[in-house]
Structures are given as structure tokens and as C-alpha cells.
Amino acid sequence: MSESVSPTVEFISVAKEFRHEYVVEKSRFITTVYPCKTEEEAQTFISRINKEFWDARHNCTAYALGPQQEQQRSSDNGEPSGTAGKPMLEVLKKTGITNVAVVV
């Protein structure tokens, strides 16, 4: 009798939380990237960063979850529509990185 073996699904993700900061014309951008597998984990991470940076003008977000990035969401958080969260999500989509949430 043979066993059925499920195919291995390969995808690109991040191993651990990472933060990077840069300044452009007196505006401070702090990017935090976090590995997560569920929408609940992504939302918990986003809430944590929102609390940490409660005084930020905007905390824009994007996440992609699942081997084929089946779950995707982004938020401009008060920036003009489509100018922050959507471009962040497009970077995740184009690079193929998944199971990750990002807050800038």
C-alpha cells in the first residue's frame, strides 16, 4: 500500500520581526515587518504597532497571507486613497513575499 504525500508548497516569507527607519525631508518613516500566518496574527501585530506609535500621523499597513497570497489587505490610514497601503501591498505581491504584515 502506498502513502499519499502532499506536495511541498514553497514560498518566500520573513523569519522574524524587523524594523528600519529613514528620514525624508523631515518626515520620519519607521517600517516594521512581521511574520504571521493568520489574519488574527496580522491584526494583533498592527494593533501593537498602532499602540507603540500612537502619536504617528499615519500607520499605513499591508499584509499578504497564504502560500499564494490568498488573503491580502491594506490601509492608507488617512493618507490620500491608494497612495500608501496599496503600493505597500503591490510590493509584497510583486516580490511574492507572503505570511507577512507591514506597518509604516
**Residue 93 is part of a domain; what is its CATH number?**
3.30.230.30
Tell me, yes or no, whether 46 lies in a domain: yes
Helices H / strands E in the chain, number of each: 2, 5
Amino acid at 100: V
Q: Which three cell numbers stand for residue 89?
A: 501591498
Closest CA to 47 of 28, 35, 36, 61: 61
Tell me, yes or no, whether 26 lies in a domain: yes
Task: Determine the structural domain holding residue 64 and report its residue range.
Answer: 18-103
- Decide if pLDDT at 5 tops 60: no
Q: Which stretch of DSSP H or E encloses residue 30?
A: strand 27-35
| pLDDT tens string 27-66 | 899 999 999 999 999 999 999 999 999 999 999 999 999 9
Q: How many domains does the chain have?
A: 1
Tell me the C-alpha distance between 34 and 27, whole Å.
23
Tell me, yes or no, whether 5 lies in a domain: no
| pLDDT tens string 82-92 | 999 999 999 99
